[in-house]
Structure 1
């Protein structure tokens, strides 16, 4: 293997570690990417908390299938990056919804809202403790 080749990072959770932390956000996963830098971790989590409601709103107001898929994909990537695996898995399901399945979309949005609230509370609490 060429040592100059760029290293790739897989931000999908290994199946056996997806919920190993038992928390809405796997902070150990995030720390792998921040190299234990608490200030950077806090900054990334704050960006996630800021973007989360905006991305959910974009998903909820998506007028076209393209808009829906872009918002779901964005949410999936951001959630995977911080280790919010439950949100990431639901965002992937949302991304895979075909056409305008309004009942299925409503259901996934409700589940995403609940998971996002849980993750937000967890992040805010962990920042108070950290």
Structure 2
């Protein structure tokens, strides 16, 4: 489904939205079913990643988790999450004790938005 993607029907679109729906539609070639699948995948992966990040003690593994989440965020247009990940990566390279509250907040915001999109 090309132009009838979520980017055209979502009410909370624009620069203030936690997910750029135009970017999402572009990355999924306007395929609404694929958009839904990718959003579900990001939501479950991001929750799992935050859980693993909380439990992991090896800084290089933590860095890989954040880097992977950054790529996933960019793929769905969750630029705030990607920026937080990028900043966190920089901090993690110089310190092993880095706070993840900002990342948790950004992911929660994106996941609430995804839930609202998919359920509402």
CA displacement 1:24-61 (0-9 Å, x = unmatched): 11111010011111100000000001101111122222
Query: Equivalences for 1:67-82 in 2 at 5 Å?
Result: 67-82=61-76
Aligned residue for 2:17, secondary structure, equals coil
Aligned residues: 107
Q: Which of 91, 115, 118 matches 2:85?
A: 91
Higher gyration radius (CA): 1
What's the Cα RMSD here? 1.7
Q: Is residue 2:47 matched to residue 1:53?
A: yes
TM-score for both structures, normalised by structure 2: 0.81
Q: Is residue 2:111 matched to residue 1:120?
A: yes
TM-score for both structures, normalised by structure 1: 0.75
How far is 1:100 from its partner?
A: 3.7
Instruction: Give unpaired runs (5+ residues) of structure 2.
Output: 1-13
Instruction: Give unpaired runs (5+ residues) of structure 1.
Output: 1-19
